[in-house]
Amino acid sequence: MAEIMVVAEHREGELREITLQMLHKAAQLSGERGHQTAVVLLGSGLEGLVDQVRDRTDTVVVYDDSRLEHFDPGLHAEILAALIAQRAPLLTLLGHTPWSMDLAPALAVKTGYPLATDCVDILLEGDRAKAVRQIYNGKIFARMAFRDSAGYLATLRAGAFPAAERARSLAEIVRPALPALSLPATREFLGYEETGKGEVDIAQADLLVSVGRGIGEEDNIAPARELAGLLGGTLSCSRPIVDKRWLPKYHQVGTSGKSVRPKVYLALGISGAFQHVAGLNGTGTIIAVNKDKKAPIFRVAQYGAVTDVPALLTALRTEAAKQS
């Protein structure tokens, strides 16, 4: 029986959503193959985090030490490499985040295990892993084989999986001694700088009116904002709108923006690229409006309309004026 290991990610005492998503995939793979799952927590003052994952895995490995209070890829890679050598997991999962983009390559060098990054799925065929990644700007899903190895490393894209459900039994808690560290801490932690804050918090909205490239012109932002106000919602957008500087970054939904969970999401002129849809995990009802009937957004929407978005906004504004 093999083991699938998840390296947990947390910040300022809060477990990151990507950890629960990786645990979902680990549980799925273990259920298919009869493997065990383990989650690794590195940090300081971790008891609250242990409680959050203890009923979602078979084993929780805890390294609780003041030297690990802040993330240092060099120290983390040394500890994880020693743990992997000891436990010999078949597959080790990390989030495809700035944290693990720094850590995973160093861990691959130390363990000698092959690494696949930014995966949207991982498959196991016997004792060999295969990675599913997107190529050509998300238009094609490519299944890629690893070279033969005793173990494999992969970083998973945020939003590719739902959060793991709670199980009935509690995991075994393992607290190994910290291995002798050959490297001193190489970074000095200064503090966290929150980005994307602004006048509104789209993550707290129950209804979002979200605009994308299909709105045509910057002048159409105003009627979209007006529509959001009439519906009692908040205006949000996809990345192209931010890139054009039509709206500030804190309005952006997606993997490079914010993950949202509104009860209703009205997508106007949004194509539905994976990076955007990944930010909608847990959304109630998605209503899509796009003139392209083949737009990917219609694959995830419960309701859709194929029409010209600027014309629709003009019609809605005219109707609203009549009602006022």
Residues 123 and 160 occupy one common structural domain: yes
Note the pLDDT of residue 36. 93
Q: What pLDDT is recorded for position 168?
A: 63
Say yes or no: 216 and 305 in one domain: yes
What pLDDT, on the 0 to 100 scale, is given for residue 303? Answer: 96
Task: Say what the pLDDT of residue 61 is.
Answer: 97
Taking the CB of residue 124, how many other CB atoms lie within 10 A of it?
18
Has residue 182 been placed in a domain? no
In a domain, 197, yes or no: no
pLDDT at 103: 94
Residue 195 covered by a domain: no
Task: Assess if residue 184 is contained within a domain.
Answer: no
| Assigned domain for 94 exists | yes
* 194 part of a folded domain: no
Confirm whether 63 is domain-assigned. Answer: yes
Q: Which of 89, 95, 91, 41 is nearest to 68 (CA)?
A: 41
What six digits make up the tokens of 44?
């300081």
Q: What is the pTM of this model?
A: 0.74
Question: Which residues constitute the domain of residue 309?
Answer: 202-323
Note the pLDDT of residue 196.
Answer: 53
**Tell me, what's the pLDDT at 165?**
80
Where the chain has pLDDT below 50, the residues are: none
Q: Are residues 166 and 215 in the same domain?
A: no
pLDDT score, position 224: 92
For residues 238 and 134, state if they share a domain.
no
Clarify whether residues 147 and 10 are in a common domain. yes
pLDDT, one tens digit per residue, over 223-234 is 999 889 888 899
Name residue 300's amino acid: V
208 and 142 housed in the same domain? no
Our count of domains for the chain comes to 2
- Residue 148's pLDDT is 92
Helix extents (H) in 59-190: 73-87, 98-111
Do 266 and 319 share a domain, yes or no? Answer: yes
One domain for residues 112 and 12: yes
Quick one: 25 and 167 in the same domain?
yes
Q: For residue 57, which amino acid is it? A: T
Please report whether residue 26 resides in a domain. yes
Residues 120 and 251 in one domain: no
Instruction: Give the model's pLDDT for residue 269.
Output: 94
Q: Are residues 146 and 212 in the same domain?
A: no
Which of 130, 156, 174 is a domain's end point? 174
CATH number at residue 88: 3.40.50.620
**One domain, residues 58 and 117:** yes
Give residue 22's pLDDT: 94
- Torsion angle, alpha carbons of 143, 147, 150, 156, to 10: -30
The model's pLDDT over 10-62, given as tens digits with 9 standing for 90+, comes to 988 889 888 999 999 999 999 888 899 999 999 999 999 999 999 999 999 99
